[in-house]
Chains A and B, each alone.
Chain A
């Protein structure tokens, strides 16, 4: 087990390093033109550009530039020149909204996804099953910002059931927090519920044909117990790993579309607004930290899985 954790840890560090290099290349090296000019934003003076070139060391050799960039990101010195705001401070300020969205929606889509998946597997071909197929299809074909806009129009504007976007901190007013989060949670979850229930359904149907399930039945265990203990338990493994990856992506700013359509002021929306202002430093930091979050959380997931399932330890 220790060996597995060490190996997984080393590979995680290597991927993190590679991500930092790739992100650096994407923002500072690959595009044409002067990186200092890009970073300064649209309304820049030659003095700012010169100052940026100096502090970011854009005249240095490329490995030196990489080190400077990383040092700036991790010591929290990156400043958005368009708004004159420290990027890391802004991200810290926006993190609670993103976490609220991710945790709430994560719970909803997991619970409902599993529930509907089981329902449609047990009643394959019936109404629930068909309805879920349609939901999954529409879900994967509709951009989340469109669902969000439609939901806001009907449920917040026409029928004033929910507030029209925005975020209220949990510590400030729990009731308001909840009423502001419900719509974003549901909208973000719709797609995942469709996907998860479809994946779980096919897993369940596959598992039901396994030999050990037949053995369990032959032993005379009640049908309910067979389903919960033998079938569901094994079918859930891929769902949980899928969930952890999606959850990590949402925390890492992947729910950028949901956040901006509901005006939640999360990390993703910070990136979105920075793009609209063509403000490069925040986008760079959010993208890198987001990818970091995904890699770290997926490493943690792997370790947890290895604890639970010895087969993974041996294969990995």
Chain B
């Protein structure tokens, strides 16, 4: 199951441009070529990249454009829009809507905080959680999947049971279970001492929760790979189990791993939003898209921008990475068993 179907043109691709038949190109070159031809996927990938870059620029925007921080309150202050002074938050508690200028570009929230600044900082937190969680899931799931599939027998039995156990919990429930207990107490993992309000806590939780979704397919693939001739050859050549797993099996999993990464980023961002919405993710006053939506949702009738601005940003980011991921999957492994729908469903109930 290496990226075998190199020479098959992706179903539905125009037949005239048969560049895929070119001999002598590596599977990844061919995959890249197919991806570059998939314009919608590239466009959505660019959208996601744009959001990432914007969020990374959050401190610059806060300092030079909005002149305020993500957690600074301006409840009692006024802002001049078009020569007229407005309260940032009216005496009745109504926050100002979008001003379309440097200060309060997208309006303020009920604490008089600048939505645009919080949106970018919140995006930074959401993306950070998403990336760290994905990294954690991929590393742990790959190790577990390879070890279980390679050694089989008792090791596999134990690991598979543990994965089944994690799988038995509805994703959001397991997330909030860990979120609630860790937000209160924090956790110590070896030398790492995490406080309850650390960003790493939701990242850690999300990373753990998704391990079975990646480890199971990888294990299945390893079960097939370990029977292949090149593994026998390596064994005859004197390679030990570690060496075989590292330099024979792992490289053959790379396309599966690459296909999973965007999928997991999307799911991790969604789960972060869900957990934060419920109060078991990123802890206030730290902004994240999920906490911003949660803060705004009660005020929808009077100030819908509080919910819809972070909501739109969240959907655009996740949609971007999902469509791009779909494109990567089609390009690398047209017959991949990894299907977006089957894996993404749980996160957003």
Q: Which of A145, A153, A253 contacts B173 (CB 8 A)?
A: A253
Known: A140-B341, A271-B176, A283-B177. A291 touches B184 (CB 8 A): no
- Least CB separation from B178: chain A residue: A26
Q: How many residues of A contact B (CB 8 A)?
A: 63
Q: Which of A33, A195, A261 contacts B185 (CB 8 A)?
A: A33
Q: How far is the CA of A166 from the CA of B319 in the complex (A)?
A: 31
Whole-angstrom distance between the Cβ of B173 and the nearest chain A Cβ: 5
Within 8 A of B (CB), among A193-227: 194-195, 198-199, 202
Whole-angstrom distance between the Cβ of B274 and the nearest chain A Cβ: 6
- Least CB separation from A251: chain B residue: B170
Instruction: Confirm or deny: A250 has a beta carbon within 8 angstroms of a beta carbon on chain B.
Output: yes
CB-defined contacts of A137 to chain B, threshold 8 Å: 319, 322-323, 326, 340
Whole-angstrom distance between the Cβ of B189 and the nearest chain A Cβ: 10
Whole-angstrom distance between the Cβ of A68 and the nearest chain B Cβ: 18
Whole-angstrom distance between the Cβ of B333 and the nearest chain A Cβ: 15
Whole-angstrom distance between the Cβ of A158 and the nearest chain B Cβ: 9
Within 8 A of A (CB), among B184-205: 184-188
Counting contact residues on chain B (CB < 8 A from A), the size range is: 35 or more
Within 8 A of A (CB), among B273-327: 273-274, 277-280, 290, 293, 297, 300-301, 304, 307-308, 311, 314-315, 318-319, 322-323, 326
Instruction: Confirm or deny: A144 has a beta carbon within 8 angstroms of a beta carbon on chain B.
Output: yes
- Whether B300 pairs with A276 at a CB distance below 8 angstroms is no
Instruction: Confirm or deny: A287 has a beta carbon within 8 angstroms of a beta carbon on chain B.
Output: yes
- Whether A257 pairs with B182 at a CB distance below 8 angstroms is no
Interface string of A17-50 (1 = CB under 8 A from B): 0110011001100111100001000000000000
Q: How far is the CA of A32 from the CA of B180 in the complex (A)?
A: 12
Instruction: Confirm or deny: A87 has a beta carbon within 8 angstroms of a beta carbon on chain B.
Output: no
- Whether A142 pairs with B170 at a CB distance below 8 angstroms is no
Instruction: Confirm or deny: A157 has a beta carbon within 8 angstroms of a beta carbon on chain B.
Output: yes
Segment of B113-121, B137-145, B161-169 engaged in the interface with chain A: B161-169
How many inter-chain contacts with C-beta < 8 Å in the A-B complex? 180
Instruction: Confirm or deny: B349 has a beta carbon within 8 angstroms of a beta carbon on chain A.
Output: yes
- Whether A145 pairs with B297 at a CB distance below 8 angstroms is yes
Question: Could you tell me the dominant secondary structure of chain A's interface residues?
Answer: helix
- Whether A140 pairs with B315 at a CB distance below 8 angstroms is no
CB-defined contacts of A140 to chain B, threshold 8 Å: 266, 322, 340-341, 344-345, 348
Known: A18-B165, A31-B182, A195-B345. A153 touches B273 (CB 8 A): no
Interface string of A251-276 (1 = CB under 8 A from B): 01111111011000000000110011
- Whether B173 pairs with A141 at a CB distance below 8 angstroms is no
- Whether A145 pairs with B341 at a CB distance below 8 angstroms is no
- Least CB separation from B186: chain A residue: A32
Interface string of B256-270 (1 = CB under 8 A from A): 000000000010001
Known: A31-B186, A33-B186, A287-B177. A144 touches B348 (CB 8 A): yes
Most buried by A among B173, B319, B346: B173
Instruction: Confirm or deny: B179 has a beta carbon within 8 angstroms of a beta carbon on chain A.
Output: yes
CB-defined contacts of B254 to chain A, threshold 8 Å: none
Question: Could you tell me the dominant secondary structure of chain B's interface residues?
Answer: helix
Instruction: Confirm or deny: B174 has a beta carbon within 8 angstroms of a beta carbon on chain A.
Output: yes
Most buried by B among A202, A255, A271: A271
Q: How far is the CA of A202 from the CA of B337 in the complex (A)?
A: 11
Interface string of B329-349 (1 = CB under 8 A from A): 000000000011110111011
Whole-angstrom distance between the Cβ of B149 and the nearest chain A Cβ: 20
Q: Which of A23, A141, A252 contacts B319 (CB 8 A)?
A: A141
Whole-angstrom distance between the Cβ of A274 and the nearest chain B Cβ: 8
- Whether A294 pairs with B168 at a CB distance below 8 angstroms is yes
Instruction: Confirm or deny: A303 has a beta carbon within 8 angstroms of a beta carbon on chain B.
Output: no
- Whether B168 pairs with A146 at a CB distance below 8 angstroms is no
- Whether A290 pairs with B173 at a CB distance below 8 angstroms is yes
Whole-angstrom distance between the Cβ of B186 and the nearest chain A Cβ: 5
Q: Which of A272, A280, A295 contacts B184 (CB 8 A)?
A: A280
Known: A33-B185, A149-B300, A199-B341. A257 touches B177 (CB 8 A): no
Instruction: Confirm or deny: B172 has a beta carbon within 8 angstroms of a beta carbon on chain A.
Output: yes
Whole-angstrom distance between the Cβ of A202 and the nearest chain B Cβ: 8
Most buried by B among A139, A254, A286, A295: A254
- Whether A144 pairs with B349 at a CB distance below 8 angstroms is yes
Whole-angstrom distance between the Cβ of A29 and the nearest chain B Cβ: 9
Q: How far is the CA of A33 from the CA of B171 in the complex (A)?
A: 26
Q: Which of A192, A258, A283 contacts B176 (CB 8 A)?
A: A283
Instruction: Confirm or deny: B7 has a beta carbon within 8 angstroms of a beta carbon on chain A.
Output: no
- Least CB separation from A33: chain B residue: B185
- Whether A145 pairs with B177 at a CB distance below 8 angstroms is no
CB-defined contacts of B165 to chain A, threshold 8 Å: 15, 18-19, 22
CB-defined contacts of A188 to chain B, threshold 8 Å: 349
Q: How far is the CA of A15 from the CA of B319 in the complex (A)?
A: 36
- Whether A287 pairs with B184 at a CB distance below 8 angstroms is no
Whole-angstrom distance between the Cβ of B29 and the nearest chain A Cβ: 28
- Whether A27 pairs with B181 at a CB distance below 8 angstroms is yes
- Least CB separation from B272: chain A residue: A143
Q: Which of A149, A258, A291 contacts B297 (CB 8 A)?
A: A149
21 contacts between A and B (CB under 8 A): A22-B165, A26-B177, A38-B185, A137-B319, A138-B315, A138-B319, A140-B348, A141-B270, A143-B273, A144-B348, A146-B293, A157-B300, A191-B348, A191-B349, A195-B342, A252-B173, A257-B274, A275-B279, A284-B177, A294-B168, A295-B168
Given contacts A145-B297, A198-B341, A258-B349, 8 further A-B contacts (CB under 8 A): A15-B164, A26-B177, A38-B185, A142-B315, A146-B293, A149-B307, A191-B345, A280-B181
